[in-house]
Amino acid sequence: MSPKIPGAPAPTPPPVDEPTEPQSPLPPKDDQQGPETVSATGERTGAEQDVRAQRGAHLTTAQGARLRDTDHSLKAGPRGPTLLQDHHLREKITHFDHERIPERVVHARGAAAHGVFESYGNAGNLTCAKFLAEKTTVPVFTRFSTVVGSRGSADAVRDTRGFATKMYTDEGTFDLVGNNIPVFFIQDGIKFPDIVHAAKPHPDREIPQAQSAHDTFWDFVSLHTEAQAHVMWQMSDRAIPRSYRTMEGFGVHTFRLVNAEGQSSLVKFHWKPKLGVHSVLWEEAQLINGADPDFHRRDLADAIESGAYPQWELGVQVFPDSEEEVFEGIDLLDPTKLVPEELAPVKPIGMLTLNANPKNYFAETEQVAFHPGHLVPGIEVTNDPLLQARLFSYIDTQITRLGGPNFSQIPINRPHAPVNDMQRDGFHQSAVHTGVAPYRPNSLDGGCPFHAGDGEAALIDFPEAVQEAVKLRESPASFEDHYSQVTQFFRSLTPTEQDHVIQAYTFELGKCYEPAIQERQVQRLANIDADLCAAVATGLGLSIPDPEQAPRDSEPSAALSQIGGTWPVDGRIIGIAVDQGTDATMVADLAERIDGAGMVPLIIAPTAGTLSDGTPIQRTYLTARSVEFDAVVFATAEAAPAVDAVHGRDAKAGDPVGRGAVDPRLVLLAAEIFRHAKAVLFTEETPVPEAAGIDRSAPGVLVGAPAERLDDLVGLLGQHRVWDRFA
């Protein structure tokens, strides 16, 4: 008899191919039990527990009417706008929007900051939006977030990150609600509940938290192949950023800009971090989530507090507003596609600087309400079917989260422009309105409020032609290519980054219990790249399948890779490991030099307190871990085990390497820094590198007086990592 292993496949395993014959919902596992069936007043009913579960084999509305399509919104033609009369879309999205109270359904875990956006004043030919057309400065509030995890999850998870910025302009509030990945999982907003339900923890055990390494996620994305583009980005290093400060942002959708002459252009928004795009390794992420689950929010707040203000340049890719809305063969209304920057360069139009932390997390970060329909004159939406659904979904979900329709009156959400909207009453109404005629036309209030005249900035819907069409649920044929850009992204990465992608797929799929799901996703990889497929299949112990369609060659895009180039080192964290024999004066001088270079020095000593000259100690051998440092200077004279280097006090001290000669925690610190491809500096006399098995001549390993080698260390940090260490 086989042992009962936790996590075994279900009693009825799923097939590799999508089932086509209707059947009733599958039964629960043997170890699962629900609550007793009792009435609202506690009376036992005697009914079976599954009486409250789903019934029937067919998909229905909430009222029980069977449905024949839940993949496409009802649109005016395949490329037309989504119709408000789509009762199934509205029911599905509305129910989804109200599934969590009060935590956000997605983007629940976030961190935010105040700042300013300074326009370069060079976008007047594109838009009449004053804050972009003129050289001006507007206040902003930016919130970063993970998508899948709850408020209590960890920061450094493999996930998409939200990048939402509220700009308080004189013409109204503009919200740019984007992600750190330029493509999305789905093409049509009606599928948003599906992808989130699949990515969230399993509903039976509520695990795993904030992770995509589980069966329901891979079951969905391997069947719904338009998700493969986003999945490839999520398996790349982009999904585990080093910091919000080193994270790119994208508007995802195509927007329409209209200038003062009424001329229109289509654009995609980009946020380019001043510090460059930089990520952590997967092992680092796992260590971070144990050592400091608040790593990203702490990094953001600490950087602002220390004066290393994070900055991102806002840019736009500009495309002709043609009837086809296609650029170089790429459908601009397909949110699973990007336009390579080699085909459409990003034009810089302004700079975002975050310079102040919130005073109260709940009042600001938690209650801020973003909405892609918060627009100003000169910026409009397009018929992207994902964006169209978001226009309904965002405002709908705020009504539940924030207790009614007056969420715009919460201080963090209040516009910085005069408001006279004729909207009255409702939950949490904090305005005390005057007058008796909140309607138009009126004479009792002197006709107020009045419409804006032609010469005054006002929201004007661009007169876009809507083609004659029939109502239907389908997408245009150009949406059917689900693989070519996935191949392009993978082949644009350096070999180092490709190795990380292979590791990510192998790790994530290795966490799935169902072999059929692993096999199905590996089949999808065969359609993307043969080498990727072979490596992942081998790691999972599966046979290598033939592709269903041959991967399509395309020109690689250098902008898709994170490796290469040199970046500022502002706000980088440098550890300085010392012991009783280290010259305190030298340490104080080094810390001052590091601070002068715009970085943050943290002294690591055997115990807390101060050095002999009174210099404060920020970390101890017990509290320090490699993942919080971008580089470490080992200025230890002897590095002998400290008094607390006892396994019973610190498990890290139980490492037998270097026992009796070098404190094992210094050995561990050096070894982790080295294998994570970070720069490291050793003084001549320290015995740490030999104890850790590190070759002093290895790439990125500096030896000598710290003050003399600091410039070399800064040069290595500007490249983020020393990847040729493992070439």
657 Cα distance to chain centroid: 38
Closest CA to 333 of 348, 344, 323, 345: 323
Residue 356 buriedness (CB in 10 A; 0-12 / 13-18 / 19+): middle
3-state secondary structure (DSSP) of residue 626: helix
- DSSP structure string for 447-463: TPSPPPPTTS-------
**Cα dihedral value 52, 56, 58, 64, nearest 10:** -60
619-620 and 600-605 beta bridge pairing: parallel
- Sheet containing 679-682: give its strands across: 619-620, 600-605, 573-577, 631-634, 679-682, 701-703
Spatial separation of the C-alpha atoms in residues 648 and 442, rounded to whole Å? 80
Q: Is 264 left (phi over 0), alpha (psi -120 to 50) or beta?
A: beta
Spatial separation of the C-alpha atoms in residues 482 and 477, rounded to whole Å? 11
φ/ψ of 266, rounded to 5, equals -100, 140
149: tokens are: 């995890």
419: tokens are: 């408001």
Residues found in the chain: 727
Taking residue 74's Cβ as centre, other Cβ atoms within 10 Å add up to 17
Spatial separation of the C-alpha atoms in residues 12 and 9, rounded to whole Å? 8
572: tokens are: 């980088």
* DSSP one-letter code for 484: H
Q: Which residues are catalytic?
A: 107, 179
Cis peptide before 415 (omega within 30 of 0): no
- Which residues, 6 or more positions from 121, have their beta carbon under 8 angstroms from its beta carbon? 133, 134, 135, 136
**Cα dihedral value 614, 620, 625, 626, nearest 10:** 40
Spatial separation of the C-alpha atoms in residues 197 and 266, rounded to whole Å? 32
54: tokens are: 């789903």
Q: Burial letters for 195-226: b for 16+ Cβ neighbours within 10 Å, e otherwise?
A: bbebbbbeeeeeebebbbbbbbbbbbbbebbb
β-bridge partners, 273: 312
3-state secondary structure (DSSP) of residue 176: strand
Spatial separation of the C-alpha atoms in residues 472 and 711, rounded to whole Å? 64
3-state secondary structure (DSSP) of residue 467: coil
